[in-house]
Amino acid sequence: MPSSDTSKSTFALTTPLYYVNDLPHIGSAYTTMAADVIARFERLRGKSVLLITGTDEHGQKIQRTAESNGRSPQSFCDEIAAGFDTLWQKLNIQYDRFSRTTSPRHEAIVKEFFYRVWDKGDIYMGQQKGWYCVSCEEFKEERDLLEGHHCPLHPNKEAEWRDEQNYFFRLSKYQSQLEALYQERSDFIQPESRRNEVLNFVSQGLQDFSISRVNLDWGFPVPVDPKHTIYVWFDALLGYVTALLDPESEPTLENALSKWWPIDLHLIGKDILRFHAVYWPAMMMSAGLPISGRIFGHGFLTKDGKKMGKTLGNTLDPVELVNLYGADAIRYYFLKEIEFGQDGDFNETRFINTVNADLANDLGNLLNRTLTMVKKYCKGVLDCSGEDIGADNPLKSIGEGMGDRVAGAYESLAFSTACNDIFTLIRACNKFIDDQAPWTLYKQNQQQAVEQVLYAVLESVRLAAYLLSPIVPTISSDIYQQLGFSINFNDKNPINDPLLFKSHAVWGTLKAKQAFGDPKPVFAKLNPPASGSS
Ligand code: MSP
């Protein structure tokens, strides 16, 4: 039973629904950029895509944060949710749905889902005793806490002792069904290391978990007992379902599940793996829903090799970063420099060196100098096409098959592999120009050879720009325009066409006598940080 069906014409994917206790941090930006890249890639190859993001607004953490800011929870949530949207615009994220868990439509979905699970006999009242980390919104095993009952993920916060009556979800009942799911669909949890983590956790035996809270107002009441409030995670995971509703349709499960379900991919960070890879599929099983496609848990980001945090004073503000450097540079760095799934680091000097070397020098200068040579040596027009280039041309041989290779890399979320493959071609172009020296060929009156060299380079740059467009859509659009195409990769409609993908993701697409635009730098070199970070 393959979970990622590449032949389907629709593709739905989610980012986590972010807590609104604070403005977005670089971790939320990282997941969202990756999700946007996949969404753009799937659109590029003609799929109908639904990219879901949003905010997780209930629970004690949010309630307390709003209180400590002297605000009502709803107005606090409204303000922070707007901050997420602002960042997504700045980072050029093309989301399709923004799911807010405080919306009335969401309450209708949660209620209906709750009754399905209730009617199945999977919810019962019990006594919950344990240590609760409000920052994680999760009960912790005593053995997993640091000294003084501090949470390892929030070492400055103490977990709180709770002993209260809660409603429980019968997770234990789904132990063998979950194990069967992981066996049948070996790609359900990715990467492999995360899958092993989950298999190990589940093999120790699953315990039921509480899905309601007492003494908490900020959330939906439990439909069968309004003195209890639904646990924030039970509510939040269902935000993915609510997001599937068309804006004008009635908020029912049937409507929500009619077009996009099951969701193809949930992108998350490794800290929320258990909720997505264990609790969530069990909830779906209980409600009789087909199970989502894949759960991919990416790694954590550090800054200059250190864990980021307010207490350490080394947070990385994504808004500041994008204001300073622009969306494409940031998107490129995080996706190229960090192997998706592994932990990764942000260092400003490395960031600047990487984007200057790859985007400004290797790619940008290459296009600029080649187009300038076309003007100078060929009156701006190349008479040859891909067919005139011999099979022994090194660029043609790297470029052929690259579309398939890079598509495979995107499919498996190997962004870094995709970038490295594309830049192998770009670096080969730079070497090819230096080796072939078209300026000498020109002097020797070898006009046809000059044109063939320049064609091979420009066609390679075109292919690279096309395949890079999910990551650096604005740079790719500028390159495409200079190469004489009226394609803007930031417009969803013209690019969302399988025929376009077929003809543009291959080497040899540039036509003879293509009308090129004027050469202009596509990426201005970034200056090193003033204070000189390490
Ligand atoms: N609200 C829940 C998710 C509910 S989904 C139905 C939540 N929100 S969160 O805002 O705390 O975290 C959102 C995401 O940010 C998580 O995927 C988490 O892994 C990610 N990150 C938080 N810090 C991070 C880094 N330092 N690096 C990379 N990602 C990190 O959890």
- pLDDT above 90: residue 312: no
* pLDDT, position 528: 81
Q: How far is CA 68 from CA 57, 60, 73, 269, in A?
A: 16, 12, 10, 28
**Looking at ligand 1, which atom is closest to the CA of residue 24?**
10
Banded model confidence at residue 314, pLDDT cuts 50, 70, 90: confident
**Looking at ligand 1, which atom is closest to the CA of residue 268?**
17
CA 480/CA 500 separation, integer angstroms:
14
Pocket of ligand 1, candidates 272, 335, 339: which has the most ligand atoms within 8 Å of its Cβ, to mutate?
A: 272
pLDDT (tens digit, 9 = 90+) per residue, 255-270?
Answer: 999 999 999 999 999 9
Residue nearest to atom 30 of ligand 1 (CA): 27
What six digits make up the tokens of 286? 């209980």
What six digits make up the tokens of 107? 């309450």
Pocket of ligand 1, candidates 57, 268, 302: which has the most ligand atoms within 8 Å of its Cβ, to mutate?
A: 268
* pLDDT, position 215: 87
Beta carbons of 88 and 54 less than 8 angstroms apart:
no
Residues with C-beta less than 6 Å from any ligand 1 atom: 16-19, 27-28, 30-31, 56, 236-237, 239, 268-269, 271-272, 300-301, 308
Cβ count within 10 A of residue 175: 16
User: What radius of gyration do the chain's Cα atoms show?
Assistant: 26
* pLDDT, position 6: 65
Q: What are phi and psi of 53, to 5 degrees?
A: -135, -175
CA of 23 to the centre of ligand 1 (A): 12
* pLDDT, position 2: 40
* pLDDT, position 142: 87
pLDDT (tens digit, 9 = 90+) per residue, 387-405?
Answer: 999 999 999 999 999 999 9
Pocket of ligand 1, candidates 53, 56, 80, 137: which has the most ligand atoms within 8 Å of its Cβ, to mutate?
A: 56
Residue nearest to atom 19 of ligand 1 (CA): 269
What six digits make up the tokens of 534? 């390490």
* pLDDT, position 533: 46
476 or 147, greater pLDDT: 476
* pLDDT, position 153: 85
Banded model confidence at residue 3, pLDDT cuts 50, 70, 90: very low
* pLDDT, position 504: 97
Contacts (Cβ under 8 Å, ≥6 apart) of 220: 58, 107, 110, 111, 229, 230, 235
Task: Work out the percent of the chain whose per-residue pLDDT is above 90.
Answer: 89
CA 385/CA 232 separation, integer angstroms:
59
pLDDT (tens digit, 9 = 90+) per residue, 48-106?
Answer: 999 999 999 999 999 999 999 999 999 999 999 999 999 999 999 999 999 999 999 99
| Residue carrying structure tokens 């007492």 | 214
Residue nearest to atom 8 of ligand 1 (CA): 18
Query: How many degrees, rounded to 5, is the angle at CA 521 between CA 520 and CA 527?
Result: 155
As a whole number, mean pLDDT of residues 484-496 equals: 89
CA of 270 to the centre of ligand 1 (A): 8
Query: How many degrees, rounded to 5, is the angle at CA 184 between CA 183 and CA 186?
Result: 65
Enclosing H/E stretch for 74: helix 73-90
Mean pLDDT over each residue of the chain, to the nearest integer: 95
CA of 24 to the centre of ligand 1 (A): 10
CA of 27 to the centre of ligand 1 (A): 6
Contacts (Cβ under 8 Å, ≥6 apart) of 485: none
Residue nearest to atom 13 of ligand 1 (CA): 18
Banded model confidence at residue 118, pLDDT cuts 50, 70, 90: very high
Q: How far apart are the first and last CA of the chain?
A: 49
As a whole number, mean pLDDT of residues 428-445 equals: 98
What six digits make up the tokens of 193? 């290391």
Q: Which stretch of 24-38, 224-238, 255-269, 306-320 has the lowest confidence by average pLDDT?
A: 306-320
Residues in the chain: 534
* pLDDT, position 452: 98
As a whole number, mean pLDDT of residues 419-426 equals: 98
What six digits make up the tokens of 372? 């300038």
As a whole number, mean pLDDT of residues 1-28 equals: 84
CA 6/CA 470 separation, integer angstroms:
18
Q: How far is CA 182 from CA 177, 266, 278, 473, in A?
A: 9, 16, 10, 36
C-alpha 264 chain-centroid distance: 13
What six digits make up the tokens of 69? 């800011």
CA of 343 to the centre of ligand 1 (A): 14
Residue nearest to atom 16 of ligand 1 (CA): 269
Beta carbons of 337 and 299 less than 8 angstroms apart:
no
Pocket of ligand 1, candidates 23, 25, 28: which has the most ligand atoms within 8 Å of its Cβ, to mutate?
A: 28
**How many Å is the maximal CA-CA distance in the chain?**
89
Q: Half-sphere exposure of 241 toward its Cβ, with a 13 Å CA cutoff?
A: 32
- pLDDT above 70: residue 1: no
Contacts (Cβ under 8 Å, ≥6 apart) of 79: none
Banded model confidence at residue 311, pLDDT cuts 50, 70, 90: low
Residue nearest to atom 23 of ligand 1 (CA): 27
**What's the per-residue H, E or C state across 425-461?**
HHHHHHHHHHHHCHHHHHHCCCHHHHHHHHHHHHHHH
Beta carbons of 438 and 377 less than 8 angstroms apart:
yes
CA of 372 to the centre of ligand 1 (A): 46
Banded model confidence at residue 7, pLDDT cuts 50, 70, 90: confident
- pLDDT above 50: residue 313: yes
Closest CA to 329 of 345, 352, 300: 352
Q: What pairs with residue 67 in β-bridges?
A: none
Task: Work out the percent of the chain whose per-residue pLDDT is above 70.
Answer: 98
CA 22/CA 66 separation, integer angstroms:
10
pLDDT (tens digit, 9 = 90+) per residue, 125-162?
Answer: 999 999 999 989 999 988 889 988 999 888 888 999 99
As a whole number, mean pLDDT of residues 346-364 equals: 97
